[in-house]
């Protein structure tokens, strides 16, 4: 199957662009428990790291120190199907079940900074908060070698760093043995709560010489309170985030702080390792650094500023890279689009060229076809001209011959007529003369038709109109065929109202000939026992008469040609010259009328003539009546026969011929020497041959139905009849026909018209040879 290129092009382009894009995005959700300087630093580190991982997206949410809100945030990350969830749990009790649930559902979850109970998490990044507490205790001893009275301001009660830092600090202080915690309270990691707590504790223990706050914000709050109370204890915090803790140490607001590492970038890498299935340790503990005090705070601040600057540069670089990347992407897209457009253009060009060539080829083919058609038309034209010239020549020739034939014909018909009236004729002689008379009439009519046709063609035929009562005339003409109809057992129905007085102008002689032609055709083609109906109808502007028969009908193919001159329907056994109907049509058209034919093979034919109604003031002149019952009987009727008795001494001769006259004539000519039997069709002939086993069979090659050749073949194949000599009669002297005849088993032939003596001699010889 061929798929047009243009159809698959969109898919190719889609593939092209789809191939240029990587859809894999790793989404990381970070749930911070709070929003403060330390966490802002961490968030900054996370975002900075993310810049280096274009495949990753980050979303950071802050719970603002509310465990309930943090649970909501975590649910959001779960519902949105984040690839990895990172959480710094606000309070261990509240967050442990939620984290466990996430972990157990199979969604990766990382814990950092603060902890939950147990280890139902994918990974944890944390700091040893106990060690921070211990380090703070050790640093305090360094500040106050003797008699340390410490106030401890703790973080949120339920958060693990608060618990662990307190434990480490208290235990280390007890170990060192030079001090004790005189008072402690929760500052909840924030400035205000710590401020209130420091105020109440300092007022109660104004002699306290050390404050350990769990983060810098709370340490600063305590420092402010102490200052306001006129006290100056040593103050230690935790975090060392640059904006608050480091700055407070640098400003000598507090004495020291411990770096609580943020390491946001490591957290991101951990998350990416987990999301991409790379190996990742479950517990990652970050190392601790030593205390930050006035000796190193400035340097750290400076480093931080540089870091900020570097970060900005990185950001700038990143935005430039992004910019370049965007431009590159745009250019790549443009590039692919250009290629696609080019491909499209080529495709269109290709199609256009193809269409152009096809069109050209088509055009050439059409031109060639045109040329051939023109050639054919010219040829046709010249053939037509030749044909019409030939036809004209033929007509001229026929006309001349017809003229020449008229005289001898008259000279034959006169004596034949005279002879037939003689009293002393034997019945056989009478029959022979009857045959001659009939055929002279047929010949004369044919010659007249030919001459009339020629006159018509040359435009020399006039109409002799006279006013007649047409209905009566038609009825009268039809009556003349009655006797013939009875003789042939044909039912002739006349549907004419003979009382119809209406008159119209016609050329009586011509219409009579039209009528004779139509009705005699009907009789010729209608078998005995058939039916012929003549009808007449009048209309305001025309009259119509029709002749319908139940003959064998005309094929659809022939229907269109029957009015053509010389057209013969039955070419095997022609019953006319092919001129009668075309002359009929000519006569009708001379009257301004029309003739139409309807026919169905095997059912019959109806010829309908329409003549316009017109009137002249001319009474019918006396025209010699063309039709009389006798004439019709002579021309169309059978010739009477005189059956003979069988004479045992004579050989038996079977004649097979569908022409009744031919059978009659052969009977008359041969019956003196032979006992004659006759068959009018091939099938009948075969049956009679088998039944009577004659001494000789004479048969006509051309017959409708089973033709003569087939008849001969069957007779020769049948054992009982195969020995009978067969003599064929043929109107055609073509060699091939003779060969065909001999091949079918014929023993001899005689071509028509034959000399009776030759026929008699051939018959005698054949019988003698066979004997
Ligand atoms: C920030 C913070 C820090 C502290 C840490 C303990 O939210 O309070 O100051 O060190 O959390 O988790």
Element (H, E) at 751: strand 748-751
Residue 15 confidence (pLDDT) above 60: no
The least confident of 98-102, 426-430, 680-684, 735-739 is 735-739
38 C-alpha to center of ligand 1: Å? 7
Please give the Cα distance from 418 to 430 (Å, whole number): 12
113 C-alpha to center of ligand 1: Å? 8
Q: Are 272 and 26 in contact (CB under 8 A)?
A: yes
Among 268-282, 292-306, 630-644, the range with the most confident prediction by mean pLDDT is 268-282
Residue 588 confidence (pLDDT) above 90: yes
Nearest CA to ligand 1 atom 7: 34
Mean pLDDT of the chain: 86
Q: Which atom of ligand 1 is nearest to the CA of 114?
A: 12
Is the minimum distance from the CB of 154 to ligand 1 under 6 angstroms? no
Is the minimum distance from the CB of 112 to ligand 1 under 6 angstroms? no
Residue 313 confidence (pLDDT) above 80: yes
Q: Are strands 726-730 and 748-751 parallel, antiparallel or unpaired?
A: parallel
- For 282, counting Cβ atoms within 10 Å of its Cβ (0-12 exposed, 13-18 middle, 19+ buried), the class is exposed
120 C-alpha to center of ligand 1: Å? 22
Q: Which atom of ligand 1 is nearest to the CA of 241?
A: 9
Please give the Cα distance from 481 to 554 (Å, whole number): 23
Q: For 43-63, what is each residue's pLDDT tens digit?
A: 999 998 998 898 999 999 999
Token pair belonging to 20: 């240029």
Determine the longest span between alpha carbons in the chain, in angstroms.
193
Q: What is the pLDDT of residue 17?
A: 47
Is the minimum distance from the CB of 113 to ligand 1 under 6 angstroms? yes
At 388, give phi and psi (nearest 5°): -70, -35
Please give the Cα distance from 311 to 174 (Å, whole number): 44
Q: For 186-195, what is each residue's pLDDT tens digit?
A: 999 999 999 9
Q: What percent of the chain has pLDDT over 70?
A: 91
The closest of 277, 10, 238, 280 to 125, measured between CA atoms, is 280
Is the minimum distance from the CB of 65 to ligand 1 under 6 angstroms? no
Nearest CA to ligand 1 atom 12: 114
Q: For 128-187, what is each residue's pLDDT tens digit?
A: 999 999 999 999 998 898 889 999 999 999 999 999 999 999 999 999 988 899 999 999
Is the minimum distance from the CB of 738 to ligand 1 under 6 angstroms? no
| Banded pLDDT at 721 (limits 50, 70, 90) | confident
| Banded pLDDT at 536 (limits 50, 70, 90) | very high
Q: Which atom of ligand 1 is nearest to the CA of 239?
A: 10
Please give the Cα distance from 585 to 514 (Å, whole number): 8
Query: Which is more confidently placed, 516 or 417?
Result: 516
Residue 701 confidence (pLDDT) above 80: no
SS in 3 state form for 339-353?
Answer: HHHHHHHHHHHHHHH
The least confident of 324-338, 372-386, 682-696 is 682-696
Q: Which atom of ligand 1 is nearest to the CA of 159?
A: 12
Residue 320 confidence (pLDDT) above 60: yes
The least confident of 103-112, 279-288, 619-628, 741-750 is 619-628
Is the minimum distance from the CB of 237 to ligand 1 under 6 angstroms? no
| Banded pLDDT at 680 (limits 50, 70, 90) | confident
Q: What is the pLDDT of residue 487?
A: 84
Q: What is the pLDDT of residue 626?
A: 64
Q: What is the pLDDT of residue 108?
A: 97
Query: Measured in Å, how far apart are the chain's first and last C-alpha atoms?
Result: 79
Element (H, E) at 238: strand 234-239
Q: For 444-500, what is each residue's pLDDT tens digit?
A: 777 777 777 777 777 788 888 889 888 988 988 898 888 889 888 899 999 988 778
Q: Are 103 and 261 in contact (CB under 8 A)?
A: no
Is the minimum distance from the CB of 189 to ligand 1 under 6 angstroms? yes
Query: Which is more confidently placed, 767 or 560?
Result: 767
Q: Which atom of ligand 1 is nearest to the CA of 189?
A: 8
Q: What percent of the chain has pLDDT over 90?
A: 49
Q: Give the DSSP letter string of 533-550.
A: EEEEEE-SSEEEEEEEE-
Q: Which atom of ligand 1 is nearest to the CA of 260?
A: 10
| Banded pLDDT at 302 (limits 50, 70, 90) | very high
Q: Are 92 and 68 in contact (CB under 8 A)?
A: no
76 C-alpha to center of ligand 1: Å? 24
């Amino acid at each position: 199957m061929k798929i047009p290129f243009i159809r698959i092009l969109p898919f190719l382009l889609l593939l092209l662009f789809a191939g240029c894009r990587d859809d894999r995005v790793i989404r990381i959700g970070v749930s911070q428990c709070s929003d403060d300087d330390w966490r802002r630093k961490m968030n900054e580190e996370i975002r900075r790291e993310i810049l280096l991982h274009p495949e990753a997206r980050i979303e950071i949410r802050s719970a603002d120190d509310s465990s309930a809100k943090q649970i909501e945030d975590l649910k959001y990350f779960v519902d949105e199907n984040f690839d990895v969830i990172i959480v710094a749990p606000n309070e261990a009790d509240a967050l442990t079940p939620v984290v466990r649930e996430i972990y157990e559902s199979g969604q990766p979850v990382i814990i950092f900074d603060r902890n939950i109970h147990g280890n139902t998490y994918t990974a944890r990044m944390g700091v040893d908060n106990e060690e921070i507490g211990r380090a703070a205790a050790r640093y305090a001893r360094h500040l106050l070698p003797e008699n340390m009275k410490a106030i401890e301001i703790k973080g949120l009660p339920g958060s693990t760093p608060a618990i662990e830092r307190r434990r480490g600090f208290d235990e280390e202080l007890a170990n060192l043995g030079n001090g004790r915690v005189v008072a402690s309270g929760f500052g909840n990691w924030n400035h205000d709560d710590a401020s209130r707590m420091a105020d109440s504790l300092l007022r109660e223990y104004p002699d306290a010489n050390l404050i350990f706050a769990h983060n810098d914000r709370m340490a600063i709050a305590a420092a402010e309170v102490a200052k306001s109370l006129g006290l100056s204890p040593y103050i230690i915090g935790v975090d060392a985030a640059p904006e608050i803790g480091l700055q407070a140490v640098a400003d000598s607001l507090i004495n020291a702080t411990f770096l609580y590492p943020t390491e946001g970038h490591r957290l991101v890498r951990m998350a990416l390792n987990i999301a991409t299935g790379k190996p990742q340790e479950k517990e990652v503990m970050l190392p601790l650094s030593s205390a930050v005090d006035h000796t190193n705070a400035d340097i750290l601040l400076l480093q931080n500023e540089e870091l900020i600057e570097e970060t900005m540069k990185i950001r700038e670089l990143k935005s430039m890279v992004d910019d370049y990347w965007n431009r590159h992407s745009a250019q790549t897209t443009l590039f692919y689009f250009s290629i696609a457009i080019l491909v499209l253009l080529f495709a269109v060009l290709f199609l256009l060229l193809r269409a152009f060539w096809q069109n050209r080829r088509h055009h050439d083919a059409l031109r060639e076809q045109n040329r051939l058609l023109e050639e054919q038309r010219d040829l046709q034209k010249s053939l037509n001209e030749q044909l019409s010239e030939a036809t004209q020549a033929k007509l001229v020739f026929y006309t001349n011959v017809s003229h020449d034939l008229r005289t001898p014909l008259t000279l034959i018909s006169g004596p034949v007529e005279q002879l037939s009236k003689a009293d002393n004729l034997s019945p056989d002689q009478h029959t022979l003369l009857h045959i001659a008379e009939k055929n002279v009439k047929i010949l004369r009519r044919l010659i007249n038709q030919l001459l009339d046709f020629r006159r018509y063609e040359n435009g020399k035929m006039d109409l002799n109109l006279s006013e007649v009562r047409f209905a009566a005339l038609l009825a009268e003409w039809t009556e003349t065929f009655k006797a013939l109809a009875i003789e042939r057992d044909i039912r002739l129905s006349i549907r004419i109202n003979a009382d119809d007085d209406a008159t119209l102008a016609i050329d009586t002689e011509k219409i009579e000939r039209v009528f004779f032609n139509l009705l005699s055709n009907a009789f010729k083609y209608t078998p005995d026992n058939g039916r012929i109906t003549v009808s007449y109808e009048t209309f305001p502007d025309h009259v119509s008469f029709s002749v319908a028969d139940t003959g064998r009908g005309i094929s659809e193919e022939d229907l269109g040609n029957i009015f053509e001159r010389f057209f013969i329907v039955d070419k095997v056994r022609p019953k006319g010259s092919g001129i009668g109907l075309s002359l009929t049509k000519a006569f009708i058209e001379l009257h301004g009328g029309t003739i139409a034919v309807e026919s169905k093979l095997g059912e019959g034919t109806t010829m309908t003539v329409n003549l316009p109604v017109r009137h002249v003031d001319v009474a019918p002149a006396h025209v010699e009546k063309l039709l009389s019952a006798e004439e019709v009987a002579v021309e169309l009727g059978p010739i009477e026969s005189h059956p003979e008795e069988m004479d045992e001494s004579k050989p038996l001769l079977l004649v097979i011929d569908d022409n009744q006259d031919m059978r009659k004539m052969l009977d008359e000519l041969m019956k003196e020497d032979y006992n004659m039997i006759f068959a009018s069709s091939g099938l009948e002939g075969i049956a009679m041959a088998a039944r009577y086993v004659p001494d000789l069979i004479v048969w006509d090659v051309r017959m409708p139905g089973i033709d003569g050749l087939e008849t001969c073949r069957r007779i020769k194949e049948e054992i009982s009849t195969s020995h009978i000599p067969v003599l064929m009669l043929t109107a055609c002297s073509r060699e091939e026909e003779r060969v065909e005849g001999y091949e079918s088993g014929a023993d001899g032939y005689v071509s028509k018209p034959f000399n009776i003596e030759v026929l008699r001699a051939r018959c005698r010889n054949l019988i003698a040879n066979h004997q």
